[in-house]
Homo-oligomer: A and B are copies of this chain.
Amino acid sequence: MPIASPSSGDGSATSSPTPPLVRIPDLNAHVGAVVTVRGWITHLRSSGKIAFLVVRDGLGTVQAVLAKADVGPAIWDRYGQLTQEASVALTGTVRADPRAPGGFELTLSDVVVTGGSPIDYPIQPKEHGVDFLMDHRHLWLRSPRQAAILRVRSEIEQAIHDFFYARNFTHVDTPILTAAIGERSGLVSTEYFDEGTAYLAQTGQLYGEAAAAALGSIYTFGPTFRAEKSKTRRHLTEFWMIEPEVAFADSADNMRLQEDLVSYLVERVLSRRRRELDELERDVSKLEQVVPPFPRIDYTDAVEMLRTRGSSIEWGADLGAEDEALLVEGADRPVFVCNYPKEAKAFYMKENPADPRTVLCNDCLAPEGYGEIIGGSQREDDYDRLLARIVAEGLPVDAYGWYLDLRRYGTFVHSGFGLGLERCVAYICGLPHVRETIPFARMMNRLRP
């Protein structure tokens, strides 16, 4: 990509041609040449005659060497103006050096401070409290660990798009502002012109189902909102979900798609973001075991197994975080729990013909204590049964008229699931809390910056 030529600003550059501006990851193509790198200072160290500057440009990090004898006093004096996070234009010769991080080093002929940074830069190389760091999230992002997480998140996002694109899925953006569909907990509401109250979407699934009848296989990728008054390490009030929906796919097909997707995401990060996983000190040997097929456990068997492992869970209840952790204890890859009791799950899931107390659904539980990263189901495609469920749950039938239409006009077997992006990133990065998996987390007490 063409980027700006540096303007050295103070006329100190020699009259030789302006050196090319090079991004740090591209230095390997310029060994022996004079180039300019622009970025921010992360470390400084000087012996009085020779100084070492470490600079990052957002894409990479490189060490630069400034020798007083080489550059003369005018340029050497600028070393004294440098502080953490000052932005600089560094001009020098690229040297290959296997000992240097990244394999290259700059021997400097010029240093220009393009943006100073006062010594009160809030984030210092010491322990800070989480609230302090979250208050300074706009700066905290610059730290190597946070930047690595965001690069892994971005890689996972691209991998998700690539996975579905290769399978001929259509990406469908479902609406964020939606009309009332009945009382649910954690709805975020706003007034919408003369149309009454609008609610921020908690899922795009219902719209996804309509789109699947038009386009065969679709997926959504967007923000969803649940303003629960709870603080846990697995919940945000604003989080991103990926929700595929496939016409003519049943619950078994649905799980195969899930295990293929999760395995692909893990493999993709392993193969393309190893440097970031190293930065995060992730135990990659655990990730390397994530290949299909994932074990499938029927809910009823899971309850029995949990009780032998000491849980007091009763058949009929949803699994709590502790039960989930207990269930995947010792598993080397994610585990599917299938066919939960009807009462524990949403109204739109298809009744299980083999056991009508249950529905054709699954959760996908990640190992290492991460728990649910996906919830999926075959959808109820029988008009009368779906209507009965809507009525039984006390939902407003009128509001679901268009959704019922999908069962009225050419109903079809279909299935889908929701992947929680932040939980997936936390799992792959090995993070204890989802708050670092998103650039600017929104939680009960966190709306800023």
Please give, as numbers and ranges, the residues of chain B lying within 8 Å of A117 by CB-CB distance: 408-410
Q: Which of A193-208 contact B (CB under 8 A)?
A: 193-196, 198, 200, 207
Task: Determine whether A168 belongs to the interface, using a CB cutoff of 8 Å to chain B.
Answer: yes
Of the listed residues A1, A178, A248, A448, the one surrounded by the most CB atoms of chain B closer than 10 A to its CB is A248
Q: Which of A350-402 contact B (CB under 8 A)?
A: 381, 402
Stretch from A73-81, A139-147, A336-344 contacting the other chain = A139-147
A212 to B247, alpha carbons, bound, how many Å? 40
Task: Determine whether A216 belongs to the interface, using a CB cutoff of 8 Å to chain B.
Answer: yes
Q: Please give the number of chain A residues whose Cβ is less than 8 angstroms from any Cβ of chain B in the complex.
A: 109
Per-position contact with B for A269-307: 1 when CB-CB < 8 Å, else 0? 000000000000000000000000000000000000000
| Residue in chain B with minimal CB distance to A411 | B115
| Residue in chain B with minimal CB distance to A214 | B141
Please give, as numbers and ranges, the residues of chain B lying within 8 Å of A57 by CB-CB distance: 216, 247-248
Task: Determine whether A449 belongs to the interface, using a CB cutoff of 8 Å to chain B.
Answer: yes
Cβ-defined contact, A440 with B207, below 8 A: yes
Cβ-defined contact, A58 with B213, below 8 A: yes
Cβ-defined contact, B440 with A174, below 8 A: yes
Contacts A59-B168, A189-B190 given; does A447 touch B195 at CB 8 Å: yes
Contacts A150-B172, A211-B150, A440-B207 given; does A4 touch B249 at CB 8 Å: yes
Contacts A176-B238, A448-B179 given; does A410 touch B214 at CB 8 Å: no
Per-position contact with B for A146-166: 1 when CB-CB < 8 Å, else 0? 110011011001100100010
In the assembled complex, 17 residue pairs joining A and B whose CB atoms fall closer than 8 Å, in A order, are A3-B253, A4-B249, A85-B410, A116-B410, A117-B410, A138-B405, A138-B406, A139-B210, A139-B405, A142-B213, A146-B214, A147-B215, A150-B172, A177-B237, A192-B227, A193-B227, A402-B448
For the complex of A and B, list the 10 residue pairs with the smallest distance between their C-beta atoms, beginning with the closest: A58-B216, A115-B411, A141-B214, A402-B449, A87-B410, A138-B210, A154-B171, A4-B250, A195-B447, A59-B216
Task: Identify 9 new A-B residue pairs, CB closer than 8 A, beyond the known A4-B249, A25-B168, A177-B238.
Answer: A1-B167, A6-B248, A38-B248, A58-B247, A136-B402, A141-B211, A150-B211, A173-B223, A222-B223
